[in-house]
Structure 1
Amino acid sequence: MDTKQFECFFDNTIEGILIIEDGFIININQAMLDILKYTNKSEIIGNLATGILIPTIHHKYLEYNNATFEEISLISKDGDIIPAIIRIKDIKENNKKYKMVFIQNLTELKEKESLLIEQSRMAAMGEMISMIAHQWRQPLSSIGTAISNLKFRINIKKYDEKTFEKKLDDVEKYLEYMSATIDDFRNFFKRDKEKELVNIQYITSIALDMIQEAFERNNISIVNKNDIKIENIYLYKNELLQVIINILTNAKDAFINKKDKKNQITIEYKELKKVQKIIISDNAGGIKEEILEKIFDPYFSTKDNQNGTGIGLYMCKTIIEKHFEGKIKASNKNEGACFEITISK
């Protein structure tokens, strides 16, 4: 193949390609120019490759079609940060060593992933609103009772200052509880912009507060074994909260028509050198073996069309793997399902 033919093929590939010698860019194809929003090769050729390629703080790798890619960021001509994956191949020509860098733009994929996370979160909104309604029912009833009691005492002109103070203190306490409940649910739907230094046991406790009423109504007890010390680590708090609530809600649904035994969910934690683990298990009968390997697939659901979108566990897997550099796996243990969430520190 002559030089002209090579340049023709080189400039018509779908992938962006850089050819690097001793750290400097000596050639770039048209696809790469388009990704970086440059118009001429002369604007790039001769520059250091590190001027446009930014490795992640922790090396992230992706395997696809038996090839390994590294996740990085690119800097466009306008200064925009572009997510991408690269694969580097060493080549030798005329006793000179070069690196050929193949690059794929992940912007569209990241946008779709973000939309799926949002869709998953919105799918949980109906359940969340139902939980708010039930958590508010008791304090609203108590407030109504306190007001009726005070009105009655006023009407019969039989009241004293201490009674009024006690009843008003009770009303204030209920209102504070209702306000805190709304804050918990409102924060759940906020997008995490930055990681927070937080404890996975604390995040689990928030989840349990949010779903407590719904589980009590279904006669499901939760044993939260938080007696071991767990280090604080930097996390996207709301995303982990979304994962925990999703798994717990799935467990609740699994107890439907299983009222012949004590319904129980157990939550345990493990602190290891490089990872932390949350283990959520139930005694609801487990997951059918023929679907166990499919439950994390996108749009696979064991629920009917009205009650399941099929993206809940898929998004749990995506969040844990992509945003926490961890793993999530499911198995059947002790007459029930067991979900093990592993998070890198």
Structure 2
Amino acid sequence: MKSNKELLNNILNNSIEGIILIKDGFITDINQSLVEILKYESKNELIGNLVTGVLIPNINTKYIKYESKTYQELNIITKNGETIPVLIKIIDLDKRNKVAYILNLSELKEKEKLLITKSKHSAMGEMISMIAHQWRQPLNTLSSIVSKIYFRNHTNRLDKESIENSLNDINNQIVYMSNTIDDFRNFFSKEKNKEYIDLYEITKLVIKMIHSDLDSNDIKIKLEKKNNLSKIFLYKNDLIQVILNILNNSKDAFIENNIIYKNISIIIDENEKSQTIVLKDNAGGISKDIIEHVFNPYFSTKNDRNGTGLGLYICKTIIEKKLNGQIYISSFKNNTEIKIEIEK
């Protein structure tokens, strides 16, 4: 018959989770799965060390639900100094002894990165269409100016003043088109540095990027801010991606539901702890049966041709993991409201 110690070792070493036994803050035992994750030769290199030499708390405490259990998200440090994201659950056995269960998030984090990149790339086709919308009017204007110059030249009515006026008009259209390209190019930039941004100004930029597409679909947007906003230190392009996804969802819902009067309101507000962006549309609403699933991966309310089921899942992932915030959705009558809350 196996002893208690043998049974404990059997449980420890046959678990896919990392497990650490802790007494008064020191490691008393550790299973083989975690030894391999931490890249040590054997558990003897770790037993007797302070557990804080392995576990690194995050600056902002994060809690995540995984398979109906609540875990804290932090990092562990390997023998060679590499940090690995993990979920940890610590259970008190008594006043002096604890057991920590650790789940390696490296693969999951890598998949999240790939999904976010996939979402951004899938938006590229829509962006090209939006650029075409943005350029259509200035191209028509340029064509009209050229025709006017050609006509005046052939009728001997081309004077210095008309040439200067035409050149100014041409230059203005070129500047507008150049700025349009800059707006979209900055969005697809690989720059990943945080910067101090104003949520109101960022939202205005997004509306500017897609205003021609909205206009062509007769969608009216009302943007307002309730208070003076302080700037928040964030990844700008990630927030742009979230707002673009939500506005594109509204646009698709307006079209699919054949809404005649299409309205979106965006209200930005601030309190002591956070800033909020509330986006509300009258695109038909979402039924109670499916609203609780809209943030799940690969769940889509759109038809097979238009829906990937990643849009709102990506929004939630970006907001929670990269922008230190939360996203909520509600629906009533024919309206859908999405609230983004970001800690200051």
Q: Same fold (TM over 0.5)?
A: yes
Aligned to 2:228: 229
Does residue 339 of the first structure (1) align with residue 338 of the second (2)?
yes
Letter in 1 for 2:33: A
Structure 1 residues 73-117: Cα deviation after superposition (integer angstroms, max 9, x where no partner) = 11122222211011112234xxx8223221111000111111111
The one-letter code sitting in structure 2 at the alignment partner of 1:219 is D
Equivalent residue letter for 2:77: I
Kindly indicate whether the alpha-carbon contact (under 8 Å) linking 2:24 and 2:97 is maintained by their aligned counterparts in 1: yes
Contact 1:192 1:236 in 2 (8 A): no
Aligned residue type for 2:254: F
| Pair 1:52 & 2:54 matched | yes
Residue 296 of structure 1 corresponds to 295
TM-aligned CA deviation for residue 207 of structure 1:
1.0
Write the distance in 2 (CA, Å) between the matches of 1:318 and 1:312.
10
Q: Do 2:282 and 2:334's aligned partners in 1 also have CA atoms closer than 8 Å?
A: yes
1:318 is aligned to 2:317: yes
The answer (yes or no) to whether the contact 1:123–1:309 under 8 Å persists in 2 is no
Deviations along 1:248-269, whole A, 9 cap, x unmatched? 1111122227667432111112
1:15 aligns with 2:12: no
Counting only pairs closer than 5 Å after superposition, residues 187-336 of structure 1 correspond to structure 2 as: 187-191=186-190, 193-226=192-225, 228-256=227-255, 261-333=260-332, 335-336=334-335
Residue range with higher mean Cα deviation, 330-339 or 132-141: 330-339
Mark the CA change 1:173 to 1:13 in structure 2 (over 3 Å): closer, same or farther: same
Question: Residues 162, 45 of structure 1: CA spacing in aligned structure 2 closer, same or farther, 3 A cutoff?
Answer: farther
DSSP-derived class of the 1:222 partner: strand
Q: Which amino acid aligns with 2:24?
A: D
Distance, in Å, in 2 between the alignment partners of 1:343 and 1:168 is 46
Deviates more, 1:257-266 or 1:103-112: 257-266
Alignment check: 8 A CA contact 1:17 1:32 kept: yes
Distance 2:30 2:331 in 1: 52
CA RMSD across the alignment: 2.2
Deviation at 1:329, TM superposition (A): 2.1
Residue 149 of structure 2 corresponds to 150
One-letter identity of the residue aligned with 2:251: K
**What is the CA–CA distance in structure 2 between the aligned matches of 1:287 and 1:63, rounded to whole Å?**
25
Deviations 1:220-271, CA, capped at 9 Å, x for gaps: 1111123531221112211211111111111112222766743211111221
Distance 1:131 1:258 in 2: 22
State the secondary structure of the residue aligned to 1:113: helix
Does 1:43 pair with 2:45? yes
Answer yes or no: is the 8 Å Cα contact 2:226–2:269 preserved in 1: no
Conserved in 2, the CA contact under 8 Å of 1:219 and 1:263?
A: yes
Change (3 A) 1:27 1:307: same
166-175 vs 303-312, greater mean Cα deviation: 166-175
What is the SS of the residue equivalent to 2:298? Answer: coil
Once the two structures are superposed, residues 301-341 of structure 1 have per-residue CA deviations (whole angstroms, 9 ceiling, x without a partner) of: 12111111111112112222222333222222463222122
Residues 159-195 of structure 1: per-residue CA shift (max 9 Å, x gap): 3333323222222222221122112112222356232
Corresponding residue of 2:159: 160
Asked whether the equivalents of residues 320 and 327 of structure 1 are also in contact (C-alpha less than 8 Å), the reply is: yes
Q: CA deviation at 1:65?
A: 4.5
Aligned residues: 342
- Write the distance in 1 (CA, Å) between the matches of 2:267 and 2:183: 23
* Correspondence 1:120 to 2:122: no
Give 1:153 shift.
4.0
> CA separation in 2, counterparts of 1:43 and 1:164?
82
Aligned residue identity for 1:314: Y
Alignment partners' CA distance in 2, 1:110 and 1:226: 34
Match of 1:63 in 2: 65
1:330/1:73 Cα in 2 relative to 1: closer, same or farther (>3 Å)? same
For residues 337 and 2 of structure 1, what CA distance do their matches in structure 2 show? 57
Residue equivalent to 2:34: 32
Instruction: Give the conservation status (yes or no) of the 8 Å contact 1:191–1:238.
Output: no
SS of residue matched to 2:324: coil
Using the size of structure 1 for normalisation, the TM-score is 0.91
State the Cα deviation string for residues 193-233 of structure 1 (Å, max 9, x = none): 23221111111111101110011111111111235312211
Q: Could you say which residue in structure 2 is the equivalent of 1:76?
A: 78
